[in-house]
């Protein structure tokens, strides 16, 4: 147990959990917000060497460009709407994995909804985005109701008062995952009002993930899709 205290530890001790995909069947996301381009490049490089997909969230276009400049040989792609960086390419989508709808109440929820969709795509699940079906214009939601009946899982992203998943869960029997979004001002700044609205919901059986946690909602969806029977069940 000796270590040189005057040396600057940076990332050398970052030990990637490469067994997670095997154990849980999920790609471990790299949370890009507090990491430098240098840290991201090193982690992606090591995942690549291990034959794993790299999926980094909360990466701006500028930071993505800086990462690409550091590891130009790797096939990185940045998705600006989702603010994510993926390497190498996404796998082909497999319709047998299930049908997922990602809904949101407004354009401002787009980054979170897109992160959710992309995280599912990393696992071969194609999800449909339905933007602007918020509750203030209820008819827009009711128009889509029949189409939504065919989905296996519904993921509803909402900021402000976060009423969308409540209304959905009162109308449809599928699993509904609420994702509070940190848009808004005053009491809704930071997403707390939306989070509390979803948790307090009087609609039965709505579950919730952390504010802005599109990746988490996608992983919860994957856990649920794993129950759909047939080949999926053997994977576990």
Answer yes or no whether residue 157 interacts with its own copies by CB under 8 A: no
Residue span binding its own copies (CB under 8 A) among the ranges 17-25, 47-55, 64-72: 17-25
Binder of its own copies out of 47, 127, 156, 157 (CB under 8 A):
127
Q: How far apart are the first and last CA of the chain?
A: 38
CB nearer to its own copies: pick between 48 and 118? 118
CB of 234 to its own copies, least distance (A): 12
Shortest distance, position 69 Cβ to its own copies, whole Å: 20
Query: Which residues 18-37 are close enough to bind its own copies by CB under 8 A?
Result: 19-20, 23-26, 28-29, 31, 33-35
The residue with tokens 């990185």 is: 76
SS3 132: coil
Three-class SS state of 214: helix
Provide CB contacts within 8 A for 117, sequence distance 6+: 82, 102, 127, 129, 218
Interaction between residue 226 and its own copies (CB under 8 A): yes
Which secondary-structure segment (H or E) carries 128?
strand 127-130
Closer by beta carbon to its own copies, 18 or else 69: 18
* Interaction between residue 214 and its own copies (CB under 8 A): no
Q: How far is CA 33 from the centre of its chain?
A: 14
Binds its own copies by CB under 8 A, chosen from 69, 96, 138, 231 = 138
Minimum Å gap between C-beta 141 and its own copies is 10
Q: What is the DSSP letter of 34?
A: T
Query: Given CA atoms 178, 183, 188, 189 in this order, what sign does their dihedral have?
Result: positive
Site for its own copies in 42-71 (CB under 8 A): 43
């Amino acid at each position: 147990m000796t270590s040189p205290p005057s040396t600057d530890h940076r990332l050398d001790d970052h030990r990637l959990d490469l067994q997670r995909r095997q154990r849980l069947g999920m790609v471990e996301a790299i949370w890009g917000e507090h990491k430098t381009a240098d840290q991201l490049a090193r982690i992606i490089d090591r995942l690549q060497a291990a034959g794993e997909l790299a999926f980094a969230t909360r990466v701006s276009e500028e930071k993505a460009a800086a990462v690409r400049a550091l590891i130009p040989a790797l096939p990185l792609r940045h998705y600006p709407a989702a603010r994510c960086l993926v390497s190498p390419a996404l796998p082909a989508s497999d319709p047998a994995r299930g049908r997922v709808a990602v809904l949101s109440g407004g354009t401002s929820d787009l980054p979170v909804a897109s992160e959710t969709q992309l995280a599912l795509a990393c696992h071969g699940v194609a999800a449909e985005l339905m933007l602007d079906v918020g509750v203030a214009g209820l008819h827009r939601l009711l128009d889509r109701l029949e189409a939504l009946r065919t989905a296996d899982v519904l993921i509803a992203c909402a900021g402000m008062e976060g009423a969308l998943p409540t209304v959905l869960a009162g109308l449809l029997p599928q699993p509904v995952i609420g994702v509070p979004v940190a848009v808004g001002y005053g009491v809704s700044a930071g997403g707390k009002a939306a989070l509390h609205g979803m948790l307090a919901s009087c609609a039965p059986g709505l579950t919730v993930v952390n504010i802005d946690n599109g990746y988490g909602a996608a992983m919860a969806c994957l856990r649920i899709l794993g129950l759909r029977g047939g080949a999926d069940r053997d994977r576990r």
